[in-house]
Chains A and B, each alone.
Chain A
């Protein structure tokens, strides 16, 4: 009898009658063997796109921010749009690994490792934008409070922009520690499976010499739980603070109290979309269908339906409040979003984020891989539009009509954004090749609770018993 009971009516999370040995083999396999040409091809393509990032950033540093389309009054444009987009994408990893751990959601074990990796890579991409938007990037360290020879001259602790510095750097550090500590036992597993000396040394270095004694596991579990407990308010605070960058200003369209919950819901929404985009491909290419099952995909789709609808309600609430406030600047800002020159981005946002996720009310569509993949792409686009709408359409109409402009990005801005996607994909592909993409130890720990053969055994015991009036437990066919 396993240490934790789960209702036999729940869907198994590990299919294919796996044993502990099978789990090790299946997850270690992609990290072994010769490098496949397909992997090499896509990694080279991604690295080339990341090269575009390096080129465009170099260009921007050499010639200045003037190479961007951003100008008064649109001082924040693609850069901050991309920053918020990437940060939002990062949030799903922490949500899956921390919040779902606290809520004891067993399905997190199949996707948490890759999602956390995605968090870290997304935050790396996000960080580039505010850093390079500083212009004189060689002075970037001025944002940290340290005693200096410029007088007593300190940073402004009451500015949301400084809060952001602390929030993002803390978020990155804590996510990295959480992720790496989870990886340590799995590196030891790969080490003990390795056949060559060099490989053994490489993974032993990464595993810190882990051997898995009872005391180590006890501390490891305690640490994971506390880090999850710390990460939960942290992840909520990070996007709240990002939203403060806007909400504490006096720009119509930004100055709203709804921003923090709306941003957090949007972040989780876009993050899950990105997790699904990557995992649907990874489960196919790396043959992990028994670990990332339709049950996982359905759960994530449910979260997207919830958060997408929350974001949608926030859009409508903003519209209502703008009208109800009777404030002409506020009303104009919102009327201009929907009917001004950037109407296309507003409708893109509304369609992708509010309307399209409603397909997930249907179980058939939630469990359809094609629909899920298409939706995940659509939501990624929609959430990018959302940040573009908030930032650019609010800024392009100033109080002075003589300052009104129509902003378009320059090739440098486009190159930097596309380049960060390349950087992200390069890091993710490297991760899939060299790291265990699924948390081996954690999946093993739920095998007896959620493995399909154990679930079937539970059902067999109940075969002739009436559990609930309307539910039959006779035969179950998952997947």
Chain B
């Protein structure tokens, strides 16, 4: 595929967004019956669902830790989520992303409250259009809250990119593929802690600092939406 124009003459991106604009975001909490906690999150066309089971005891017992809960995290893409069918077998990418997502959740969950148990976090990407790990982590954090598991703060995440020399917020697949940098960032916003940070691309130190600022801006908005989605079902008075 030929490289499309990523920044138009009017300064807008290929989909009409401003450089600092997020895609339309939709979040819904508590959508699965079986899981202890769940959430569905959409960033534009990227659609992910996260579910949490636990804390619960699993066997074999010798795999548990005596002073805290284990976290088991699986980031997985559905075979129909990408343009070309993706094999269901875990790829090296999915293994790496499962690790960085788990580590982000380890930073926030009070695992020491549940020794000898396991907290299972499952993320399924249903449709992929860029920013799947950040949408997945955003959804996973909502699912953990929905499960009633104590945590320090929500985790809000977004990917910043550089396309045609311009730093942009919440990159989609096209911007990821043809751009010069892709930097996923996740934070615990109330505590101002960065719990996931990767860079795939080239940035000067100055660009990195600006990209981080831009990410923080997007993250505060996503954080606000997460909080809203959690209180949504409790603020609706049912009619009798």
Whether chains A and B associate is no
